[in-house]
Structure 1
Amino acid sequence: MDLSNCPKCGEIFVKNAVREMCEKCFREEEKLFQKVYTFLKKRENRAATIETVVKANDVEAELLYKWIKKGKLHTTLFPNMGYPCDNCGTIITKGKLCDKCSNTITSELAIFEEEKERMEKLHRSTYHSQK
């Protein structure tokens, strides 16, 4: 049994793999989810953006990002929904990084590996003499 404080209200609760908050806050969040999901299920709202959903439902964008990341809101059903890249903040629909940041990191890593190999070759071909 793992006791923890609810990140929303501070109340002590038994933490488990399913819930990261107390029962009261969990129920409140579920009510908000149902409100947002009902809004998005309407044909005219399926192409709504994060900003539109936030304004229409009085919900925080961070909560929408959380639901998308957890798979409660599917970007295949709601194409204008997403969450920010962990590095630059560009809205994405999968993973943690946008393509640009991912490509930048990959290319920087390749340059680092090339430099490392070059230094290792240089070190191996250097001869030392003693007096």
Structure 2
Amino acid sequence: MGAFLLVCICGGLGAVARFVLNTSIQRWWNRAYPLSTFIINIIAAMLAGMAAGAYFYQTVSYSTYLLFVAGFLGGFSTFSTAINEMVSLTRTRQFTVAAFYFLTTLVVPFLAVILGWWLVSFGH
């Protein structure tokens, strides 16, 4: 039961962090491309890569890794929002922006995971 509550708390903290960052970015970005979600997902992907690397190199325990990835990053990352934004862009016939968003939402976070892992493994 303790682990369950910790994941809930970490997930809530991640959701609050996402809300604050999302709101901050949207205050100055008013273009069609959903930059706030994109940035949040890049940060989440890089942190997930760092966490995976830290767990692989036994820098953190499995429970810490799980709390951070399943808890905090689970609440912070917004892949479902990204998919919804792609659909919205398509519905409003902004096909070029939707296609670009689709490609960047898949490719850049993937590269961010690799970068995160590399940053952690650099000293090993």
Same fold (TM over 0.5): no
Query: Larger relative CO (CA 8 A, sep 6+): 1 or 2?
Result: 2
| Greater percentage in strand | 1
Report the TM-score, using the length of structure 2 for normalisation.
Answer: 0.32
Report the TM-score, using the length of structure 1 for normalisation.
Answer: 0.30
From the CA coordinates, give the structure whose radius of gyration is larger.
1
| Greater percentage in helix | 2
